[in-house]
Amino acid sequence: MRLNAIHQMDCVKGMAELDAGSVDLAFADPPFNIGYEYDTYDDRRAAETYLEWSEQWMAAVARALKPTGAFWLAIGDEYAAELKVAATRRLGLHCRSWVIWYYTFGVHCTKKFTRSHAHLFHFVRDPKRFTFNTEEIRVPSARQLVYGDKRAHSAGRVPDDTWILRPQDLPEGFGPQENTWYFPRVAGTFAEREGWHGCQMPEQLLGRIIRACSNPGDLVLDPFGGSGTTLAVAKKLRRQFVGFETSAKYAAHIEKRLKSITRGDALDGAESPLHSAPNTANGRRLSEVIHSPQPRAARRRRRRRIEETTGLLIE
């Protein structure tokens, strides 16, 4: 199987051609079986058929993983529970994290609460031996940026397991004093948008996963090429990669996208907060945040949000 390429073929058949135990990291964003209009794939399968197929391709992923390998799965509400059980109870994988990816820019609902999240499962083959590069994904902490606390780790902290993707949901967005990472969702007007696939992941989201769970030169697998973001980010971050896509149209677009990238290129989208994290000594204290030069209404909203979050009364 040729590496550093997208292969136009069924992923189960394609992964069978990979050497067993050869993949360091797999990221899969499969069809959710919710009736989405893909180029060739039918996203309206009977539930049992979809679950049987899902277990087949996940078993192929598990076979391809190294003993120290990791598998990330992005999935919606409808089948998240069943696929987690299949991965852990029947395929023998271990769930390290269940990340909630919060974006609040989905389909508007009138008969239920509007969906504002997806699930990201982090599985490993061996619960004691796996790659997790803590120093690659640290983010600024509240102790650093808000309180200037000397006890704060100068390099920041490991992110929470809820990832916020819409900074505009806060009245003033996320400023430098915030300690929450976000990735702007790839909306239709974004320069990052490829335009030929409706389910495009943000590069910065894949960047966090690939940096955390693999090293330069490692092999990254994507069973469902889609818009090609996993493979594009893997190339930019100097990983080896291999992907599969059943649609000839999508595969051609992915190949074109990959040819436009040079290893070491910067990721598209918002930059990692890691690069702007100040040393603890330069942290901003709460009073500086509250009284920063902003419109009065914005200051009031920020004060109210901090009071609600911390339980502190700001004079």
What's the first-to-final CA gap in the chain, in angstroms? 65
What is residue 259's predicted lDDT score, i.e. its pLDDT?
97
Question: CB-based contacts of 44: which residues, under 8 Å, 6+ apart?
Answer: 33, 35
> Which residue blocks in 216-295 are alpha helix, DSSP H?
229-236, 248-259, 286-290
Domain limits of the chain?
5-284, 286-315
pLDDT of residue 309: 47
Joined together, the tokens standing for residue 276 give 């702007």
Q: What is the pLDDT of residues 63-90, one digit of tens each?
A: 999 999 999 999 999 999 999 999 999 9
Question: What average pLDDT does the segment 122-147 reach?
Answer: 86
Which amino acid is located at 40 in the chain?
Answer: T
Q: Is the pLDDT of residue 182 over 90?
A: no
pTM of the model: 0.76
Which of 56-70, 142-156, 282-296 has the least mean pLDDT? 282-296
SS3 at position 161: coil
Mean pLDDT score, 229-245: 97
Please state, in angstroms and rounded to a whole number, the distance separating the CA atoms of residues 98 and 225: 23
Residues 92, 89: Cα–Cα separation, whole Å: 6
Structure confidence at residue 25 (pLDDT):
98
Give the list of residues 6+ apart from residue 105 with CB closer than 8 angstroms, or none. 116, 165, 166, 185, 187
What distance in Å separates the CA atoms of residue 230 and residue 220, rounded to the nearest whole number?
A: 8
Whether residue 284 contacts residue 159, with contact meaning beta carbons closer than 8 Å, is answered with: no
pLDDT of residue 239: 98
**Residue 301 carries which side chain, given as an amino acid letter?**
R
**Beta strand segments in the chain, E:** 5-7, 23-28, 65-75, 94-102, 117-124, 162-164, 219-222, 240-244
Q: Which of 164, 184, 132, 138 is nearest to 276 (CA)?
A: 138
Strands 94-102 and 23-28: unpaired
Say what the pLDDT of residue 165 is: 56
Give residue-wise pLDDT tens across range 205-214: 999 999 999 9
* Pairwise CA distance, residues 152 & 205, whole Å: 25
CATH architecture type of domain 5-284: 3-Layer(aba) Sandwich (3.40)
SS3 48: helix
- In degrees and rounded to multiples of 5, residue 88 shows phi and psi of -90, -40
Alpha-carbon gap, residue 226 to 219, rounded angstroms? 19
C-alpha atoms less than 13 angstroms from C-alpha of 215 in its C-beta half-sphere: 8
Q: How many Å apart are CA 205 and CA 233, to the nearest integer? A: 10
Distance, in Å, from the CA atom of 221 to the CA atom of 244, rounded to the nearest integer, reads 9
